[in-house]
């Protein structure tokens, strides 16, 4: 079983001699621990930056226009083409700060300009559900990434964590459970099917 230190070593060797930027992706179902792992890696590494796919959620006003608000979190509720373009820019443009959008969990809205990536960042760790999906613009996202890891967590534990997180950010218990069993589960099943495309599967740490 891989330990966190194994992953740290692998991330370090990916970053290599630092002449060019390296992009590491972390995929996995909702609540599988992608953000936690990315933040931990970036904390331990010098010259690494965390860029979440979550920043590319479409805003509620656009989801309303599309009639997709109740499916928030599904692949077509993200700006996948914009995400791919940002990843390309991060690879090519290392002379100035590049701003990525963030995601605000209380508002559940993307926020432009929330994540600065310094010119000194050599390893970009980006994470989200659909990095390995391979359909439409998601294929361009995968093509920008040097390596993609897949976070896998025991299903019961994953659901328990997800309900707890929805509650922590303001949903009532019933509402949290309904969302996790409904919308989140559909997305989780879709993501689970992309596991084979990963370079590495990461279990519980």
- CA nearest neighbour of 128 among 3, 33, 20: 33
Give yes or no for residue 33 binding ligand ATP (CB under 6 A).
yes
Judged by beta carbon, residue 35 or residue 126, the one nearer Mg ion is 35
Residue 194 contacts which entry, Mg ion, ligand ATP, none (Cβ below 5-8 A, type-dependent)? none
Which whole-number Å values give the CA distances from 56 to 7, 178, 197, in the listed order? Answer: 26, 24, 22
Of the chain, the end-to-end C-alpha distance in Å amounts to 9
CA torsion, points 6, 32, 16, 84, in degrees to nearest 10?
A: 170
Give yes or no for residue 153 binding Mg ion (CB under 5 A).
no
Count of residues that bind ligand ATP according to CB under 6 A: 12
Give yes or no for residue 165 binding ligand ATP (CB under 6 A).
yes
Which whole-number Å values give the CA distances from 42 to 55, 61, 128, 200, in the listed order? Answer: 18, 33, 15, 18
State the sign of the Cα–Cα–Cα–Cα dihedral 160, 166, 170, 176. Answer: negative
Least Å from the CB of residue 17 to Mg ion: 30
Least Å from the CB of residue 25 to Mg ion: 13
What 3-state DSSP class applies to 23?
strand
Give yes or no for residue 35 binding Mg ion (CB under 5 A).
yes
Query: Which position among 161, 167, 178, 199 is part of the footprint of ligand ATP (CB under 6 A)?
Result: 161
Query: Stretches 6-14, 17-25, 26-34, 110-118: which one binds ligand ATP (CB under 6 A)?
Result: 26-34
Binding site for ligand ATP (CB under 6 A): 28, 30-36, 129, 161, 165, 205
């Amino acid at each position: 079983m891989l330990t966190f230190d194994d992953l740290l070593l692998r991330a370090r060797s990916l970053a290599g001699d630092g002449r060019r930027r390296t992009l590491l992706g972390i995929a996995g179902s909702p609540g599988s621990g992608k953000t936690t792992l990315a933040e931990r890696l970036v904390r331990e590494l010098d010259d690494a930056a965390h860029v979440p796919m979550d920043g590319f959620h479409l805003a509620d006003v656009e989801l309303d226009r599309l009639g997709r608000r109740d499916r928030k979190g599904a692949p077509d509720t993200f700006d996948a083409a914009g995400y791919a373009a940002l990843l390309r820019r991060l690879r090519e443009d290392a002379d100035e700060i590049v701003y990525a959008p963030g995601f605000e969990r209380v508002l559940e809205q993307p926020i432009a300009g929330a994540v600065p990536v310094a010119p000194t960042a050599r390893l970009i760790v980006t994470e989200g559900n659909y990095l390995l999906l391979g359909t439409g613009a998601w294929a361009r996202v995968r093509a920008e990434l040097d390596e993609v890891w897949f976070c896998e967590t025991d299903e019961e534990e994953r659901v328990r964590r997800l309900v707890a997180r929805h509650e922590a950010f303001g949903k009532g218990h019933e509402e949290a459970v309904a969302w996790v069993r409904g919308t989140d589960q559909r997305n989780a099943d879709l993501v689970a099917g992309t596991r084979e495309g990963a370079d590495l599967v990461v279990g519980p740490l």
